[in-house]
Structure 1
Amino acid sequence: MGSFKKNREVLLALCLCSALVNNVYAAETSKSQNDLEKYVLDEYVVTATKTALSEKKVPMATEVITQEKIKNLGAYSVRDALRMSIGLDVQETGMTGNVVQIRGMNNSHALILIDGRRMAGENTSVTANVYELSRININDVERIEIVRGPGSALYGSDAMGGVINIITKKATDPSASIGVYTGSKEMGTNMTYASGKQGNLSFKISGNLEDIRKQVSKSDGVSTNMYGPRRYLNLSANYDLGKNRGLDFDASFMKEQFTAFDSSNIEWYNNNRSDYSINYYGKDDKNNYNIRAYYNTLKKANQKRPSSNWNGIDWTDWDRSEYNTLVIEGKNSSKLTDQHTLTYGAEYSNLGNKGTRLGAGGDKVYQDTLYGISKYGSEKNLETYSAYIQDEWQINDRFFVVPSIRFDNHSSFGSHVSPKIGSTYNLSDNSRLKINYGKGYRAPSIAELYYSMDRTMGSMRVQVLGNPDLEPEESTSFDISIEGEKGKAFTKLGYFHNNVKNLIESGSVQTIIGPGMPPSIIMRTQYENISEAEIDGIEGEVGYSFNNNWQVKATYTYLDARDKSDNSFLNGRAKHNGTVQLVYSDNKPNPLTATLWSQWYVDYLSRTTNNSITYDNEYTYNTLNFIVNKQFTKNFRAYAGVDNIFDKTFNIDDNHAYDIDGRTWRLGAEWTF
């Protein structure tokens, strides 16, 4: 009966998307390709194959968010820029961070890159990517490329669900800008200066001073977000060596100084991240190559005390953590013949973790005392040696195939091979069929392998232990889609399937009652490979341009995400979600653009446990949002927006796993020179 219900829902969703497709194609049959609205124009994407291919040609499901769209959305962060993307869920999760799910996969299954570089950050299945989208200077972003589906054949670990590559502005184009913004959640100012080419050298500097406003949870009236100042500084330079060769230098810095309250504690956070990169590149008639080395580190320090000095206790806990990433890599794309372009490369990576959350679980164990509290700490490094190869095979005018394979040798579990094959078949000049099949994997992180965390949380101590015997998570994925354009309309309709094994999660919780008055309560858990999941889904996108001013677009995702052990729906996901977007532009030389969109979720599951009893609650809700952007002169623009216009508020569970905070607003202006 359950299988019949599942298949029935899939069939209904397919029928709905098919009806949308048929209506779009029936609506306009005689207009030329030149009449397509702006968001139908074919963008080039690099992330999917590590070569520049058009979105229409590349087999993988991709999306490009341009700088123009980022501006029109009034985006304060990368999270803002992504929130209308198909197949991507980037909701704010209460007072702590973000959900980053691609096609229903876990947070940790999305690989987030900056200019193709991995960034040091939190590395458990729960914390991975939770804060990442807010730690990137949106003012320095040129475009964002999203690839849905496994990317392990080129990128290795962590790309099981897909890849989000944030591409920054380059130093070679002269420009300068100053911006200011304010709103319900943050306020700040930013600046950018790029010299353009001065002889052989060009350089760029970009900075952002931001203040995250304090927000109090409406569910308990006490808990807050992490609020306070965040600072960015981005530096880059290019030196032209001549003959299509050059050197790129990049450095970036981010600093957070946050405070947060809950019902019994106040906690301070001081986070610093730095990133350094050097890249040598060149090309000739047949080859396009580069050799790059980069290093980045995130250092975190926090301490807490009771909200009021309970029993005279000044400090109750503290932590120190450091995450490091070192990568040396080389790549070449060689055009062998008119039919074949071969891309191949090799990579060495060294991921490091040091601090008190490792306790004595790592190497070089030490002991620190701070605020009268002593803690053990240690450090651990994991190395990976990798090589990959990919062929872009243009079989004929209609048929394009991209096979690829990657070999990784990992210091904690040995070797892993990740193959993938994708194809694009042009049904006509304006329609195409795309099919992909591949394997993905995620290596256990240092935290999941070696953690020995012991923290005070309220009246309890929480202990989280690593497990050196963990196996890597593995996935087998398949997707098929059809897409096309007709006159002023376009549509995409696809089906995807992911089978995920060896999911890493924190296992069962042990409750230990310690001695003393009052007795101490210890909640202890250990990471385990405890489940398998099967995720099926349908994603559809349809758009139509009524005239030169008005456009409409809708996205839809149906998700059937199950724990295979008991066939239960996976927590923190909606069975149906999507957006409906209405876009206006007056198309003048200094245009006014406005976007009204509704974002909706149906049967969003929140599973909570209280006193060993599990509760499943499903929620259906939507928010209506509006943004307007006006270019007053060639050098000045301003924007204003309101999210959640109708001020919907609720808290899904008592742990603040997801809050709807109510109506928020934003204003901003930018001067360019």
Structure 2
Amino acid sequence: MFLELLLLVFLMNESNEAAEQKDTNEQTVSETIQVTASGFESLISEAPGEVTVISQEQIKEKGATNLIEAIQGHAGLFFSGEGVGGRKTITIRGLNDKHALILIDGKRIAASNAVMGHSDFEYSWIPVNSIERIEIVRGPLSALYGSEAVGGVINVITKEATPSWKSSIELGGGVREDDRGGESTRVGFYTSGPLSSDMVSLQVAATYSKNESVPFQDVPYSEIEGSEVTSVSTGLDVTLNENHFINFDATFTQDDRWRDASSRGKEYLGEYDLAKQQFSLAWKGIFSKVMADVKLYYSEIDKDAISTYKSGRVKKSTDLVSNQVLEARFYSEIGSHRLSYGGELRKEHLESATLTTKEDDAQYQALFIQDEWSTGKLLLTTGIRMDDHEFFGSEVSPRIYGVYELTENWNLKAGYGGAFNAPTLKQISPNYHATFGPHQFFGNPDLKPETSKNAEVGFHYQRARVHFRAIYFDNKIKDMIAWNKIGQEGHQAIYEGINIDKASTSGVELEYDYHPPCGFQMSGQLTFLDAKDDTTDEDLLYKPEQSGNIRLAYLFSGMNMKFGINGRYIGKQLTSGSELSTVSLPSYSILDLFATKRFNDMFEAQLYFKNITDKYLLDESDDFGYVEPGRSYGLILRASF
């Protein structure tokens, strides 16, 4: 039904071609500019990769307070439950969450998903109101960005300072219909403008959001944890002259979580105290034939996990992960070639009680070069990067991608690349030794990185009111890291990390965006996925066979009002059952509504209704390891001046 609707809309577009040519004032589907896939600005249809750009207006329309809410509803993206407090993680094309690299303005953050259990802590690093757009590139990008860019890259691009002072504020809140908790509150502020003529500009963003916890219907434990997030970011832009620019930015985020839980029959209050910070100093220089972009930055996440039992016993664990990075990128144009090249020095630091030395470090060095060659109708991108790690040695990541203009409206795209994911400091450190119940875990300094070979081919269609793409992808991963039992000490089993598993994911992505005359907006996405563990020849868990999204909206231009509906479909997927068996989870759909009214140039209000059918997953199957928030509604007020 979903695919039939997409085809119907496509046929509607063909019949409206004459109307498009007569009326050029109606809203159109414009060709969007991206930078993440190549390092250069390029149109999406010409980019060396499959790119989605989510605009600031789309983020506001979703009422998003974090990265997951901002990017929902796009092909190839999946959201897997983490089994704790309703947390979810982002996966791309059926790979693991650790295979999706998250950047802020092209800079790495201190990733916690591989070293902190049940982590979704990467998705609330900066104030949402500071985001200009989000660029999502599917497919391997280790040739540009190094480790973790196996499934793709999510690059959050923040707003640039404005030439005159502009500010905005936001107030909002929501409630669940069943009165079981989940009340939400949000406050946001943003301001930007010049401090000294056109030479120095400042921007400041701040957000606060709070969501109360939601207990299970039948037991006093939390199915959705409570959260309270305060985030502040500031940026200072200095124009030295027309060719040289300096930028300093800093971000501070306090992320607190709480939930009622039980372990081995003992009830406790689980709390997380997460402090995140990032500092960056950047210089851009434009010379006669070269543009230079040099960044020095530091990011850190500090986690305190506290469990308070009813007996009064308190259990506490701490982890700290930080990255120090010096990165230099250079861009040149020589005839029909656009070159990007440079290098990176990175130091990763970990502090944890599970390390016998209490802390450990790893050093990275990398060099890369990429050539984008335009030969008439063919745009060919080739690149290679070499990363050197003090533990596992060197890893080379190649890339080749071609975009061929078939007609004025149709492009053929195809590419192949290699990527890798480095072992975490816990997995590879000889100083790692952790005990959890009847299990002991040791790091293995002989671990190799997980590596992948990735290919894709497809078509893009672009015209004034419509954009359509269809892509087939195939990913093969080897040397996946798993814990292997190597011995027994009394009642405790001893495990060591080894490279053993192989996996593959393949599928088809369909996306459609159509703006017919008279204010309508229609878009849809559909993904078919086949994900297998090649070691056992079994389907991977938590990978839906199909997923889709459809959005319908209507703009009443004379009234400055917009109404819309978003529908999400999650197909059948496997989960783990009892006695090492697997269980098939049923498919389900979620529907959301929104309405926006702009009163004048300053004031805007938005109503939202989420999960309007009140879909409760545990009514569908007791084996769901995550939940969708119940039916809720809320109001957001915005003012800009």
* C-alpha contact (below 8 Å) 2:583/2:623 kept by paired residues: no
Matched, 1:381 2:366: no
Which stretches in structure 1 are left out of the alignment for 5+ residues?
1-11, 366-377, 515-521
The one-character-per-residue Cα deviations of 1:501-524 (angstroms, maximum 9, x if unpaired) are: 11123446999875xxxxxxx676
User: Which has the larger displacement, 253-262 or 326-335?
Assistant: 253-262
In the TM superposition, what is the alpha-carbon distance from 1:216 to its structure 2 partner? 1.4
* C-alpha contact (below 8 Å) 1:386/1:406 kept by paired residues: yes
CA–CA separation in structure 1 for the residues paired with 2:473 and 2:143: 18
* C-alpha contact (below 8 Å) 1:214/1:228 kept by paired residues: yes
CA–CA separation in structure 2 for the residues paired with 1:380 and 1:389: 31
Partner residue in 1 for 2:372: 392
Partner residue in 1 for 2:527: 557
Which amino acid counterpart does residue 235 of structure 1 have in structure 2? T
Partner residue in 1 for 2:626: 658
* C-alpha contact (below 8 Å) 1:540/1:555 kept by paired residues: yes
C-alpha root-mean-square deviation of aligned residues, in Å?
A: 2.7
In the TM superposition, what is the alpha-carbon distance from 1:36 to its structure 2 partner? 10
3-state secondary structure, aligned to 1:546: coil
Matched, 1:640 2:640: no
In the TM superposition, what is the alpha-carbon distance from 1:392 to its structure 2 partner? 1.2
In the TM superposition, what is the alpha-carbon distance from 1:526 to its structure 2 partner? 4.2
Partner residue in 1 for 2:588: 621
Matched, 1:267 2:247: no
CA–CA separation in structure 2 for the residues paired with 1:180 and 1:165: 27
Matched, 1:301 2:304: yes
CA–CA separation in structure 1 for the residues paired with 2:90 and 2:285: 35
Matched, 1:504 2:444: no
User: Which has the larger displacement, 522-531 or 347-356?
Assistant: 522-531
Of 441, 447, 454, the match for 2:435:
454
The one-character-per-residue Cα deviations of 1:350-403 (angstroms, maximum 9, x if unpaired) are: 1110121x331xxxx2xxxxxxxxxxxx1111111101111111111x111111
Of 273, 280, 285, the match for 1:282:
285
Of 620, 635, 638, the match for 1:667:
635
Matched, 1:84 2:73: yes
User: Which has the larger displacement, 632-641 or 654-663?
Assistant: 654-663
Residue 395 to residue 127, structure 1, CA distance change in 2 (3 Å): farther
3-state secondary structure, aligned to 1:596: strand
Of 563, 572, 593, the match for 1:594:
563
Residue 128 to residue 168, structure 1, CA distance change in 2 (3 Å): farther
Partner residue in 2 for 1:177: 168
Residue 495 to residue 19, structure 1, CA distance change in 2 (3 Å): same
CA–CA separation in structure 1 for the residues paired with 2:97 and 2:26: 33
3-state secondary structure, aligned to 2:339: strand
Matched, 1:43 2:46: no
* C-alpha contact (below 8 Å) 2:483/2:495 kept by paired residues: yes
Matched, 1:482 2:459: yes
Matched, 1:131 2:121: yes
Partner residue in 2 for 1:321: 319
* C-alpha contact (below 8 Å) 2:78/2:91 kept by paired residues: yes
Q: Compute the TM-score of the two structures, normalised by the length of structure 1.
A: 0.87
Partner residue in 1 for 2:576: 607
Residue 287 to residue 121, structure 1, CA distance change in 2 (3 Å): same
CA–CA separation in structure 1 for the residues paired with 2:155 and 2:487: 40
**Percent same amino acid at aligned positions?**
27
* C-alpha contact (below 8 Å) 1:31/1:487 kept by paired residues: no
* C-alpha contact (below 8 Å) 1:640/1:667 kept by paired residues: yes
The one-character-per-residue Cα deviations of 1:648-667 (angstroms, maximum 9, x if unpaired) are: 10238768622133213332
* C-alpha contact (below 8 Å) 2:149/2:421 kept by paired residues: yes
CA–CA separation in structure 2 for the residues paired with 1:37 and 1:353: 54
* C-alpha contact (below 8 Å) 1:177/1:192 kept by paired residues: yes
* C-alpha contact (below 8 Å) 2:110/2:300 kept by paired residues: yes
Matched, 1:359 2:355: yes
The one-character-per-residue Cα deviations of 1:188-234 (angstroms, maximum 9, x if unpaired) are: 21111212352321111111122221111346442354324221110
Partner residue in 2 for 1:466: 443
CA–CA separation in structure 1 for the residues paired with 2:474 and 2:397: 17
Matched, 1:581 2:551: yes
CA–CA separation in structure 2 for the residues paired with 1:625 and 1:507: 44
In the TM superposition, what is the alpha-carbon distance from 1:480 to its structure 2 partner? 0.7
Matched, 1:64 2:34: no
The one-character-per-residue Cα deviations of 1:579-633 (angstroms, maximum 9, x if unpaired) are: 1211111234x7322220211122122223x3x3313223211111112222211
Partner residue in 2 for 1:332: 330
User: Which has the larger displacement, 326-335 or 129-138?
Assistant: 129-138
Of 363, 366, 386, the match for 1:407:
386
3-state secondary structure, aligned to 1:195: strand
* C-alpha contact (below 8 Å) 1:288/1:333 kept by paired residues: yes
* C-alpha contact (below 8 Å) 1:219/1:650 kept by paired residues: no
